[in-house]
Structure 1
């Protein structure tokens, strides 16, 4: 199973919150003793998905030493979300990371950065960020969903790694030459396990009547015939064990609708 996460969803939530915060600040009663850096154009351009204007507008806020810390964080988050939507993942991670350096209590940003790490295929860092978000906010729904999905994915990968290179039978009891050949070759061992699993799935489907056009006994008989032919023909001139196993797997997957 390929795991995917709604990166645009997290970015949209962050941008919406930032715009609301900016609007509240603009109507506030506090009078600044020092001229404030205007963050409005940055947030507006980011929310409008306007890369051309968001770049310079947000840079003017982020690169200005006089920018107040809250505005710096907002600008970094806004630009990071925009960059993420435009598949500039590394730059988005950099902005989120800088925002977290300024304020390491931002659960939303940890979750958003975790989704970006996941997009890059870095599962350990993704899990770490989702966990950090939950440590800050145990009720963060998106982080909980992401962390749970990642835990399942890592469990699945671990299970696959545990059986990688192992056939469907115990190599210690292998007696036939073909079985020993399968045990000695990781690719053949994986193929054997996949053939066994695909056949079991097809038989199970037939028995459950979800595929009434298939007879479970006929399917198992075909598998038994394949094993018998494999055992008899292995080692003979022209017999390609790998191709025979691949053909059988393709046949089974076709039967099962995969």
Structure 2
């Protein structure tokens, strides 16, 4: 198992159900051991002992962050067909949390997903899986899991914060997509050949918009009106050269725009 990098808290329970996994409590407190029972042998009347699956070692090892012991102890529970559903869910959630702590994201998601198939009422696990989806860069699945957690428990504070943050991020990305490929000026009014070339190229249009935004920023951050006037004169000179030299042999519009953007972003240490 991978080496530990950054630890995160195990999912905590905020629903009315008993806690699934609370690292601050002894594993014995969340253990729901199977009741001892006996069966009859298929041939004869003598009672035969039925094996009991003990989830306690798995929970204890994961709570103690003992990777070596947890690997074996949790597998003994999860891979045993005699394991009851409640203990199987506990073992999956516990192992999933440990895997997440060690950045085994795909394996952690697999354990959480299996646990949710068995018990889809676990708001904490939905939230925890959503955070893992976010780590993988899958925003839609992250939002879906945060929303599922909130449907189960509308008062789940962490899921609510995660869902809000993701909604704002998706809104921001949507706004960026809405202006992607559009320059800083209205293409319907483009008259110059260079302006039409910019409107006809999404890459050049994005560069134009970034140059416009960067120039506005450096003007806002100018230390004096005189400095602001000097900076604007540089921008005006760039536009004038662009308009005049476009179409001439040797003039590279994209390179000129990239150089201007780099110049603007180099102002004041940007």
Q: Which TM-score bucket, shorter chain as reference?
A: 0.7 to 0.9
- Corresponding residue SS for 2:82: coil
Shift of 1:212: 5.3
Identify the residue that residue 3 of structure 1 maps to in structure 2.
none
Say which is worse superposed, 222-231 or 62-71, in terms of deviation.
Answer: 62-71
- Write out per-residue CA displacement over residues 187-222 of structure 1, whole angstroms, 9 at most, x where no aligned residue: 11100000001111111222xxxx459822221111
Identify the residue that residue 223 of structure 1 maps to in structure 2.
235
Q: Distance in 1 between matches of 2:26 and 2:85?
A: 14
Say which is worse superposed, 121-130 or 86-95, in terms of deviation.
Answer: 86-95
Identify the residue that residue 17 of structure 1 maps to in structure 2.
22
Conservation of the 8 A alpha-carbon contact between 1:18 and 1:74 = no
- Write out per-residue CA displacement over residues 118-143 of structure 1, whole angstroms, 9 at most, x where no aligned residue: 11221111100000001111121111
Shift of 1:256: 4.7
Say which is worse superposed, 32-41 or 57-66, in terms of deviation.
Answer: 32-41
Shift of 1:13: 4.6
1:36-47 matches, cutoff 5 A: 36-47=52-63
Identify the residue that residue 64 of structure 1 maps to in structure 2.
80
Identify the residue that residue 46 of structure 2 maps to in structure 1.
none
Q: Which has the higher helix share?
A: 1
Root mean square deviation of aligned Cα: 2.4
- Write out per-residue CA displacement over residues 44-101 of structure 1, whole angstroms, 9 at most, x where no aligned residue: 2222333222112101111223323222111101111111122221211111011111
Q: What is the TM-score when the length of structure 1 is the normalising length?
A: 0.87
1:241 aligned onto 2:262 = no
Identify the residue that residue 172 of structure 1 maps to in structure 2.
188
- Corresponding residue SS for 1:49: coil
In the comparison of the two structures, how many residue pairs are matched? Answer: 246
Unaligned runs of 5+ in 2: 1-5, 14-19, 38-50
Q: Distance in 2 between matches of 1:214 and 1:135?
A: 57
Q: Distance in 1 between matches of 2:200 and 2:34?
A: 77
CA separation of 1:114/1:199 partners in 2, compared to 1, >3 Å: closer, same or farther? same
Shift of 1:146: 0.8
1:21-40 matches, cutoff 5 A: 22-24=27-29, 32-34=35-37, 36-40=52-56
Q: Distance in 2 between matches of 1:222 and 1:233?
A: 16
CA separation of 1:16/1:72 partners in 2, compared to 1, >3 Å: closer, same or farther? closer
Identify the residue that residue 257 of structure 1 maps to in structure 2.
269
Conservation of the 8 A alpha-carbon contact between 1:108 and 1:133 = yes
- Write out per-residue CA displacement over residues 1-42 of structure 1, whole angstroms, 9 at most, x where no aligned residue: xxxxxx94343657861673732256x9x9933364222221
Identify the residue that residue 94 of structure 1 maps to in structure 2.
110
CA separation of 1:25/1:46 partners in 2, compared to 1, >3 Å: closer, same or farther? closer
